Amino acid sequence: MASDAVKATIDEGIDAIRSGGGRVTPAKRLLLELFAQNPGHLTVEELTEWVQTTNPEIASSTVYRIVEELERIGIVEHSHAGKGPATYHFRHAAHGHLVCHECGEMIEADPDLFVELVAEANKRYGFVVDPHHFAVLGSCSRCLAAQRS
C-alpha cells in the first residue's frame, strides 16, 4: 500500500497532466507511480522494464512519449551524468549531482554545496547555472578506496 506522501505526489502529477491539457491514461498513472515510489534517477530503459512487468503491451516508444510530456509540463526533469544515458526523476527543489565517472554513482547534493560556485560563475563569467540540471563529475569514495588498494 502506498504511503500518503506517495499518493499525494501521484495526485499532484495527475492534476498537472490534466491542467496541462493531457489525458490521464493507465500508462501515465503507472509511470507516475514508479517515479513516486522510486525517488532516484531512472533511465527510460529502466522505466520501460518496470512498466512492462506490469503491462507488457506498453511499448518503449510510449514510455518515451510520456516521459517527454511529464518533463514538458514540469513534473519530471532529466539529468545528464557523465557518459551514461539521461536519467529522470520528479522535479523538486533545485539540487546538484555528484557523479562518479568510474562507477556511475549519482549523489544528489544539497544546493548550499554549490552556492559559492554558482555565484562565482555568474560574477566572473556572467554565466547562470541551471540548478535543476547540474552535475559535477569526479570519483566516489568507493572507487577511490578501490584505487588505493
For the chain, which residues make up each domain, given as ranges?
4-89, 93-148
Q: What average pLDDT does the segment 71-90 reach?
A: 79
Under DSSP, the state recorded for 84 is S
- Positive or negative, the Cα torsion across 133, 98, 4, 43? positive
pLDDT mean across residues, the chain: 85
Tell me: pLDDT of 23 over 50: yes
Q: What average pLDDT does the segment 63-87 reach?
A: 84
* Residue reference for cell 510510449: 62
Q: What average pLDDT does the segment 48-71 reach?
A: 93
Give, rounded to a whole angstrom, the gap between the first and last alpha carbons of the chain: 44
Do 11 and 24 form a contact (C-beta atoms < 8 A)?
A: no
pTM confidence score: 0.67
The Cα–Cα gap between 67 and 94 comes to: 19
pLDDT of residue 1: 47
Q: Range with the lowest mean pLDDT among 9-23, 59-73, 103-117?
A: 103-117
**Amino acid identity, position 20:** G
Do 59 and 96 form a contact (C-beta atoms < 8 A)?
A: no
Do 85 and 44 form a contact (C-beta atoms < 8 A)?
A: yes
Do 90 and 39 form a contact (C-beta atoms < 8 A)?
A: yes
The Cα–Cα gap between 90 and 88 comes to: 7
CATH superfamily membership of 93-148? Ferric-uptake regulator, C-terminal dimerisarion domain (3.30.1490.190)
Share of the chain above pLDDT 90, in %: 36
pLDDT of residue 144: 92
Domain 4-89 class, CATH top level? mainly alpha
Tell me: pLDDT of 5 over 80: no
